């Protein structure tokens, strides 16, 4: 099968942004309905990602109606088990059985929503599961609970819903437990569930000091790349910027491997346009990705692979630099 | 004059914490009055730092009354020109003259508040002045406006109120203009105003890849260290943790130089105890600092200086390691 | 079984250090025989780590004789497949079959040496296998070759010799393929060979933005922690400093988990004392580790675990801070 | 005056590279004479940078003759006071007066060489002046000696020879004293010598978490940018790669400001092509820079500046992205 880009976007891209220094927001904060309407204005956008918690604001019927109206489908239902004080010390790996159970229930709810609204997958970005201080948690219990909770959700989602684990090094915790592509793959191998895989967020991969394309391959070798979040960042933090504005070459390389591996999932935008208009930021990201994909087409794949066989950077650069220089 | 630790704390330490993922807060968010009452419960705390914007919630008389009731004085009035959408693209260096003027007015208001409530200084942490994307701003204009705005505030504050510039590498912008101890010193030297100096925030110094003690010396050589913010962090982000929990040795070295230079300013706590009780976090920080100062006393200064003359790490470690090992 | 510290040291600690700016060395560069004699002078040292390439300088008999003379045993034979121009583009994952084969042969030689000189393990730090520039290598082939080469070596070493993979983020390549604890665990799970496991180097773990103690647990859960390299560093680079001089708390936490897991391997020193005397640096490291282990003994394990069940940092800090503050 | 690119290259680019893991070199190590001949083969190269220590291998006459033969001039004489064991603990700031004096003498020798061979400047990259461990040095003395040594050299070089201070965060020390653009500017302001200024190395600026273009402006505002070293790197280390291969946008922005400020100095290549051919690497860097300069020409400066006045990233990106997307 050939790679065909399908663009999705997190609804949060259109929600308006705030941070700890500006709680009232850098622009107007808007609700789910308006977020969908705004997503509908982005040229080329075919899908959206939501959270199970969005349905506290909107019925599933209304949600489906709005998607249809805006020619959108849902590419992923993310599990929000980090956005309220209850989860401040953890969710899937919380030491308190009741809280852990509640977290798992939220994920199961996301599975049911996914089924109902036609999403192929749910997303597990476990933002609360980690620690802030040395010695704060017992890592053995942390891992055991984490694995058993994911297993329970994975089994519940069988056979039709994929469960994509989105790793991140840190934020909101100073250390998150599932922090790298390697750990995510190890989890997948330990669990051995066909429908449990990984999500690469480009900025998260950079933050974990990975080459995002290399992480894509690491996971793809095991057929575990279920979803992709695109954005850009300055490597030390999840800056969630417009695609391609900082890491031109690494974004190009990532898209090259999407093409090369015939990646069949969505290209999801995961940005926080703090001071920018969300619709314009998403539109520009899609335009940038399309332009980068055109450049990928200009690469002579056979020639690049021949150059790669020499393992010499001058040879590969000679092929690659031509797409812009 | 001998060094005597005077402990102050940002009122925000007691305000309750939120972030972009948990806007409703990890614990109850409380107003200025309650913040002061909470500060009053921290053993050993003699001062607080506030913002000029706090006085939207409270009159100056009421503020002074509450300080007095809690045996506290005000060590610094920080200038909030970053906490609302208006400042999203800048304040002191905004290209729009009116916004720039408003920012300067806020700082002048802080100076007047400082005079009225008996604070020796105001703090300029210019969180909005920077940029997020390459090419976003004209750096020449940025620097010119920044310098002229600080100059205007510095002159307004003469002769009695000190103006302390608190540098930070990033957050909320991906790049802040005043980002390091070196730049801050260069600004002070260019302006040549006696009452314009610097604030070192321990975590900010780490984020800028500085050794905080070395930055202390850099600024002290020019008599430009006006205030200090203590906390701890993991070097890549402003984690605003309890003092001494990560960078034990570097905190010890920082305090060693406070003693060695007979630093006469306050030791201000600048923490965001997201998931912890603010009063307890501040109390623990003060206990940790006091314990570290006891260790500084145990250092044989003359012996350490002799070891430092050899420039060999084994010699200096032999002296230093004894304080704990 | 209880944890009993057994100290080993890389022979290179005593070899004298150079770098790209000072090729002639910061002190006298000495050969293997003298390195062993120097190791013999370090109080408390019971083992050494060598490289298979050391035996270009010395016979196995002579090596064994010198070890015996100095009351040392060999804890690990590292595989040097990075130290000459031949390996500049790779070894275990080199595209050129002949070079790959040569690299595997070097590892097999290390296995034979281990058997002959009584070392329980060989070490695979694959410093040449990675890349420097985007697009330089084909990541699929890189992983496939890497895995099959390690498998071949692992099977050759069965059943008596352990093969420990030592991950590192970078240096000498800008990106090394086996770059994190998570990837290393995933490799072990994919290979499924009982005698193939991992080595944690404390500074490497920091460089990969890991909490070293958490990585210890991640690997120990699968019985895959075969060896440990201790040192210290400033998180961005493999500074290979004396143990405990920067990351006091994280070293303490690492040793706490050595005790808690009854780690049965060696504690190996892996330092590059560029400007320091190797014997003195190793001696100080052992003294620091012993002092830290005394502190671990002072921790009330049951109390800490109770505090960890609350998941609150104030509770755990209250237990931990007492060991020094 | 208009900006006209003049390309120079460090002779070390052609010397062959080694590192601490491969002391014998990744390719053949060659002497100064051959380095000059190799520089002569790089198309577009008009200048070279050397070190005063190169003249231990070659007479000044012979050096001049070889430059002439290869149509090269000398753009900078760097002061090597770090490349032998003598300087292991420092040079310009060494506590030992004799060593400090020797270091100053080496710099004066560089000034005389510069005069004799027609170089406009000497370069002070003080690689040995810093520290490795907390508490290792007395920062007050460090700064005092450093400043007085630079002053002595600056005065000696008056009026015809410029002295360019090249800052770097670390390597070979874990902390170097002159570590950022801000500190370098502060030194220049403190010294107040017209002929003492700064050198920006692109990779060093990245390592200090600077935006290189912003640093260019910071220094240019004070007419203190004397020289530029171009290369690329992954932000945490001085990887010394071919120009433009990682930080496409930031290199473009840097060159934009070279044009905008009519920078009159040289563009010097400072690379360590460990595994690549030096002549080819330099040739590719020049080609990349020329291509980037063509893109700068395509930028509508007036339009970009109008966009920058809005301070909005979407506006500026709309102008900038067109050069490639």
How far does the CA of residue A269 sit from the closest CA of chain C (Å)? 23
Average pLDDT over residues B239-260: 98
- Distance CA(C323)–CA(B324), nearest Å, equals 9
Mean pLDDT score, B254-276: 98
Do D180 and B180 count as a contact with CB atoms less than 8 A apart? yes
CB B130 within 8 A of CB B183: no
Structural domain containing residue A110: 7-297
Contact C218 A185 (CB under 8 A): no
Compute the count of residue pairs across chains A and C with CB atoms less than 8 Å apart.
158
CB contact under 8 A, B253 and D213: no
Task: Give chain C's mean pLDDT.
Answer: 98
Q: Is C309 exposed, middle or buried (0-12, 13-18, 19+ CB in 10 A)?
A: middle
* Residues recorded for chain C: 325
Residue D168 and residue D145: Cα distance in Å, rounded? 18
Give dist(CA C112, CA C77) in Å, integer. 10
Between C21, C172, C242, which is nearest D172 by CB? Answer: C21
The mean pLDDT value for B187-197 works out to: 98
CA C191 remoteness from chain centre? 21
What's the pLDDT tens digit per position in A83-121?
A: 999 999 999 999 999 999 999 999 999 999 999 999 999
**Chain A residue with minimum CA distance to D247:** A247
Assigned domain for A109 exists: yes
Q: Which residues of chain D have pLDDT under 70?
A: none
Spatial CB neighbours of D179, under 8 Å, sequence gap ≥ 6: B182, B209, B210, D130, D167, D168, D169, D170, D208
We report the CATH number of the domain holding residue D144 as 3.20.20.150
> In chain B, where do the E strands start and end?
7-10, 45-51, 73-78, 121-124, 130-131, 162-166, 175-176, 196-201, 225-230, 267-269
Residue D1: per-residue pLDDT: 78
Decide if pLDDT at B128 tops 90.
yes
Q: Is residue B324 part of a domain?
A: no
DSSP C20-47: TTBTT-SS----HHHHHHHHTTSTTEEE
Distance from CA of C86 to the nearest CA of A (A): 13
A179 neighbourhood in chain C, CB within 8 Å = 182, 209-210
User: Which parts of chain C fold into alpha helices (H)?
Assistant: 32-39, 60-69, 97-117, 139-157, 181-191, 202-207, 212-220, 248-260, 278-298, 301-310, 313-320
d(CA A273, nearest CA chain C) in Å: 27
CA-closest candidate to residue A83, choices B22, B6, D245, C50:
B22
Mutate: best of D129, D138, D206, D212, partner B, most B CBs <10 A: D138
Q: Is the pLDDT of residue A1 over 90?
A: no
Average pLDDT over residues B249-277: 98
Tens digit of each residue's pLDDT (9 = 90 or more) over D171-229: 999 999 999 999 999 999 999 999 999 999 999 999 999 999 999 999 999 999 999 99
Give the pLDDT of residue B1: 79
Q: How many CB atoms lie within 10 A of CB A1?
A: 6
Provide, as residue numbers in chain D, all residues whose Cβ is less than 8 Å from the Cβ of A314. Answer: 276-277, 280-281, 284
Which residues in A lie closer than 8 A to residue D288 (C-beta atoms)?
321, 325
On chain A, the residues whose CB falls within 8 A of the CB of C134 are: 211, 213, 249-250, 252-253, 320
Chain-chain contact of B274 with A88 (C-beta, under 8 angstroms): yes
Q: Using CB atoms, which residue from C181, C190, C208 is nearest to A189?
A: C190
Please tell me the distance from the alpha carbon of residue A88 to that of residue A83, in angstroms, as a whole number.
8
Angle between helices D139-157 and D97-117 (to 10 degrees): 30
Q: Note whether D159 and D121 are within 8 A (CB).
A: no
Contact D40, D70 (CB under 8 A): yes
In a domain, B275, yes or no: yes
| Residue percentage of chain B with pLDDT more than 90 | 100
pLDDT value at B107 more than 90: yes
Q: State which residue of chain A sits closest to B26, comparing Cα positions.
A: A85
Chain D residues in contact with chain C using a Cβ-Cβ cutoff of 8 Å: 17-27, 82-85, 88-89, 127, 132-134, 170-172, 174, 234, 236-237, 239, 241-242, 245-246, 272, 274-275
Residue A316: inside a domain: no
- End-to-end C-alpha distance for chain C, whole angstroms: 31
Instruction: For residue B222, give how far its alpha carbon lies from the nearest alpha carbon of chain C (Å).
Output: 28
Number of domains comprising chain B: 1
Test A20 with B19 for CB contact under 8 angstroms: yes
Q: Are strands A73-78 and A130-131 parallel, antiparallel or unpaired?
A: unpaired
Q: Count how many residues are written for chain D.
A: 325
Q: Which pLDDT band, with edges at 50, 70 and 90, does B121 fall under?
A: very high
pLDDT digits (tens, 9 = 90+) for C196-251: 999 999 999 999 999 999 999 999 999 999 999 999 999 999 999 999 999 999 99
pLDDT at residue C1 tops 90:
no
> CB D189 to CB B184 under 8 A?
no
Which residues of chain B lie closer than 8 angstroms to C280, CB-CB? 314
Residue B195 has pLDDT above 90, yes or no: yes
Q: How far is D103 from chain A (nearest CA, A)?
A: 38
Alpha-carbon distance of B258 to A227, in angstroms, equals 52
- H/E segment holding residue C164: strand C162-166
Q: CA–CA separation, C215 vs C212, rounded Å?
A: 5
For C85, the closest chain D residue by CA position comes to D26
Percentage of residues in chain B with pLDDT exceeding 70?
100
- Is the CB of D313 less than 8 angstroms away from the CB of A287? no
Q: How far does the CA of residue B192 sit from the closest CA of chain A (Å)?
A: 31
**What is the SS3 assignment for D18-62?**
CECCECCCCCCCCCHHHHHHHHCCCCCEEEEEEEHHHHHCCCHHH
Q: Do A24 and B174 touch (CB under 8 A)?
A: no
Cβ separation A314–D276 shorter than 8 A = yes
Residue-level pLDDT at D30: 97
User: Are A248 and D249 within 8 A, CB to CB?
Assistant: yes
Q: Which residues of D touch A288 (CB under 8 A)?
A: 321, 325
* DSSP state letter for A18: -
Domain assignment of residue B35, yes or no: yes
> Residue A80: which region, alpha, beta or left (left: phi > 0; alpha: psi -120 to 50)?
beta
CA of C24: which chain D residue's CA is closest?
A: D84
Report the residue of C211, C314, C318 to disrupt the B interface, i.e. the one with the largest count of B CBs within 10 Å. Answer: C314
Judge contact between C175 and C131, C-beta under 8 A. yes
Of B249, B275, B277, the CB nearest to C248: B249
Instruction: Indicate the pairing of strand A130-131 with strand C73-78.
Output: unpaired
Nearest to D169 among B189, B209, B253 (CB): B209
Distances in whole angstroms, Cα of residue B311 to Cα of each of A72, B209, B314, B320? 66, 22, 9, 14
Question: Is pLDDT above 90 for B267?
Answer: yes
Residue of D nearest to A287 (CA): D325
Is residue C2 packed enough to be buried (19+ CB in 10 Å), middle (13-18) or exposed (0-12)?
exposed
D313 in any annotated domain: no
Contact assignment for D312 to B221 by CB distance below 8 Å: no
Closest-CA distance, A145 to chain C, in angstroms, reads 13
Nearest CA in chain B to C314: B276
Please tell me whether the overall predicted TM-score, pTM, comes out greater than 0.90 for this model.
yes
Contact A49, A76 (CB under 8 A): yes
Q: Label residue B172 by pLDDT band (50, 70, 90).
A: very high
Find the chain B residues whose C-beta atoms sit closer than 8 A to any C-beta of C: 235, 242, 244-246, 248-250, 275-277, 280-281, 284, 287-288, 291-292, 312-314, 317-318, 321, 324-325
CA of C294: which chain B residue's CA is closest? Answer: B325
What is the distance in angstroms between the Cα of B230 and the nearest Cα belonging to chain A? 16
Contact assignment for C281 to B314 by CB distance below 8 Å: yes
Is C325 inside a domain boundary?
no
Nearest to D224 by CA among D179, D268, D165: D165
Report the run of H or E that residue A298 belongs to, with start and end. Answer: helix A278-298
- Residue positions counted in chain B: 325
Which residues in chain C touch residue B17, judged by CB atoms under 8 angstroms apart?
Answer: none
Q: Phi and psi for D262 in degrees, rounded to 5?
A: 50, 50
Residue D311 falls inside a structural domain: no
Best of C24, C241, C275 to disrupt the D interface by mutation (most D CBs within 10 Å)? C275
Chains sharing 3 or more CB pairs under 8 A with chain C: A, B, D
**Residues of chain B neighbouring C237 (CB-CB closer than 8 A):** none
């Amino acid at each position: 099968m050939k790679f065909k880009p399908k663009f999705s976007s997190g609804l949060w891209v259109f929600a308006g942004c705030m941070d700890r220094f500006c709680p009232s927001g850098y622009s107007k904060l808007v609700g789910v309905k308006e977020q969908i309407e705004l997503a509908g204005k982005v040229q080329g956008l075919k899908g959206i990602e939501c959270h199970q918690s969005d349905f506290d604001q909107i019925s599933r019927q209304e949600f489906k109606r709005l998607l249809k109206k805006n020619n959108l489908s849902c590419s992923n239902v993310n599990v929000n088990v980090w956005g309220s004080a209850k989860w401040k010390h953890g969710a899937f790996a919380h030491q308190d059985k009741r809280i852990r159970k509640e977290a798992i229930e939220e994920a199961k709810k996301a599975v049911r929503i996914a089924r109902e609204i036609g999403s192929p997958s749910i997303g597990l970005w476990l933002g609360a599961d980690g620690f802030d201080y040395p010695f704060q948690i017992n890592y053995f219990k942390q891992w055991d609970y984490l694995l058993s909770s994911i297993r329970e959700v994975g089994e519940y989602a069988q056979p039709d819903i994929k469960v994509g684990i989105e790793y991140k090094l840190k934020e909101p915790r100073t250390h998150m437990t599932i922090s790298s592509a390697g750990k995510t793959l190890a989890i997948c191998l330990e669990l051995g569930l066909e429908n449990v895989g990984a999500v690469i967020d480009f900025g998260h991969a950079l933050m974990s000091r990975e080459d995002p394309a290399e992480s894509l391959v690491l996971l793809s070798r095991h057929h575990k790349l279920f979803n992709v979040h695109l954005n850009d960042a300055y490597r030390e933090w999840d800056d969630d910027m417009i695609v391609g504005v900082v890491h031109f070459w690494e974004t190009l390389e990532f898209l090259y491997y999407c093409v090369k591996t015939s990646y069949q999932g969505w290209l999801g935008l995961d940005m926080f346009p703090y001071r920018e208009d969300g619709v314009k930021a998403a539109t520009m990201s899609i335009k940038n990705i399309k332009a980068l994909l055109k450049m990928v087409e200009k690469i002579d794949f056979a020639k690049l692979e021949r150059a790669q066989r020499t393992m010499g950077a001058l040879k590969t650069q000679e092929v690659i630099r031509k797409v812009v220089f």
